[in-house]
Amino acid sequence: MATKYIFVTGGVMSGVGKGVATASIAKILKSRGFSVTAIKIDPYVNVDAGTMNPTEHGEVFVLDDGMECDQDMGNYERFLDTSLSCANYMTTGSVYLSVINKERAMEYGGKCVEVVPQIPLEVISRIDKAAKKNKANIAIIEIGGTVGEYQNILFLEAIRILKIKKPKNVLLTLVSFVPSLGAGGTELKTKPTQYAVRSLESAGLHPDIILARASVPLDQKRKEKLEFMCGLQEGDVISAPNVESIYEVPINFEKDNISDRILKKLSLKAKNKDLADWRDLVKNIQNPNGEVKIGIVGKYFGSGDFVLTDSYISVLESVKHAAYSWNKKPIIEWLDSDTYEKDAKLLDELKNYDGIIVPGGFGNRGVEGKIKATEYCRKNKIPFLGLCLGLQLSVIEFARNVAGIKDATSREFDKKAKNAVIDIMEEQKKLLFEKHYGGTMRLGAYDCEVQPGTISHEAYKDWAGEKSGPYIISERHRHRYEVNDKYREILQKKGMTVAGINPKSNLVEIIEIKNHPFFVASQFHPEFKSRPLKPHPLFRSFINAACLPAGRQ
């Protein structure tokens, strides 16, 4: 069958959930028996998301092939339960770079290369390549930002051109915010959505379906008004109310029969409906048997009400996946590491949590507070999970306070350090000196050999099929510094277990602390491979230990 294209654009306001909507539509159509892939277009001149500030843009998600991309790609993978590639992500910068490189290589045959049509045609070409690579019947493409933004015009033009070329194969969905006013916030206002539709029409486009984002479900009268004022057919406005969990969204969309609307508009033959596993997940989320309280010690958020949770969105979702698998409601609180540097007495609050996570990050701000929190968890037998930087700080803490290397640190924090127990590999040093920062990162999937007799080996047995001997698993990385092999022997003699190594480079991938209910840290980012229906083994094992806090002092 010919590839079908579903574009998802935003209304007059960003941050209304286009990524979750795209992932949800993808999940629903996959459940109907179609091969589906999801693509994200970011309207930034950055070539990829690797240089974007997480406090402004949110988490940098990493794919198996090392592509640094937008956090929405994580939602696509989680909902579709699949691994995507760099073909599924593009930015304004990457599109322009590709066109310029083709022009330099004379691939346009000496013709004048113009913004229109070359840029929109390059966008269409990339979408087709992604669909072909993923063998997809349906490609769902999210365009970041809002319809009224100048930087989105060329992507809207790509939709317009594709609609002209393949009118029966293109569907346009608008995710638009419907604000509520009045007492109790029950008076829903449709004017912003009407304005968003007018903006689309000014670009030569008209939405086929509107996803109406609101604090409450849309009543029938508001649906009818939007259908009439925006020129839509009956049933083309889908209610998208706030929900407690994003995993409820596909179920909500299907209440308004969104898949039937899409299949009819794209002239697709109806197939089976099977969201049973998803419905079971949502039922489990809504009916927990107890709670588990997890603290996340980081620096990309402040204390109090203002918390930039998007900086660690994959960690947050991974904790949820694991908690749901044990039928627990996760209570997650964000702990600012800076406060522990200023007042060590505040560390006693860590005893209020069932488990503590120290996630990844870059730079030296707040690291001493994280090291103190790590030491507290080690000494007080609090279940602990370190991720990437969390492993590096665990090694530093152990080296200082157990192995007696008082000045142990990372080369990242002190370029002239005498005892850099965390260092950069020799082959990377020259690139770093020349400021080729991307070339010094270990990005994407690398193998890890998990050693028998460890907590990690027991955790991974379901993924590995309970085979005997070491497990070879593949995990995603995004870091520059490694455990310095020169110190490995002394650390192991003092009680640190190297539970996982890269079989090719012999680099440390997982460490554990002996005589502790759960103290595990990984150099890789396990959060990038967790799924709601397939929680990551390390997170699942961590949450299990947090639910059974026996053995604490």
- Considering the candidates 230, 525, 536, 547, report the single residue annotated as catalytic: 525
Over residues 384-406, mean pLDDT: 98
Over residues 367-395, mean pLDDT: 97
* Six token digits for residue 446: 């690398």
> How far, in whole angstroms, is CA 437 from its chain's centroid?
22
Residue 136 pLDDT > 80, yes or no? yes
- Considering the candidates 157, 482, 512, 527, report the single residue annotated as catalytic: 527
Which amino acid is present at 479?
H
Portion of the chain with pLDDT greater than 70, in percent = 93
Residue 551 pLDDT > 50, yes or no? no
Q: Verify whether residue 388 is a known catalytic residue.
A: yes
The residue with greater pLDDT, 31 or 548, is: 31
Over residues 440-458, mean pLDDT: 94
Q: Verify whether residue 527 is a known catalytic residue.
A: yes
Q: What is the pLDDT of residues 186-234, one digit of tens each?
A: 689 999 999 999 999 999 999 999 999 999 999 999 999 999 999 999 9
Which domains can be identified in the chain, with CATH numbers? 4-281 (3.40.50.300), 289-547 (3.40.50.880)
Q: Verify whether residue 244 is a known catalytic residue.
A: no
Q: Give the count of beta carbons closer than 10 Å to the beta carbon of residue 198.
A: 12
Per-residue confidence at 438, pLDDT binned at 50, 70, 90? very low
DSSP notation for 472-518: EEEEEEEES-EE-GGGHHHHHHTTEEEEEE-TTT--EEEEEESSSS-
pLDDT at site 15: 85
Residue 282 pLDDT > 70, yes or no? yes
Within 343-405, residue ranges assigned H as helices are 367-379, 389-401
Residue 143 pLDDT > 90, yes or no? yes
Per-residue confidence at 274, pLDDT binned at 50, 70, 90? confident
Q: What is the pLDDT of residues 455-509, one digit of tens each?
A: 999 999 988 776 778 999 999 999 999 999 999 999 999 999 999 999 999 999 9
Entry pTM: 0.93
- Considering the candidates 388, 479, 509, 547, report the single residue annotated as catalytic: 388
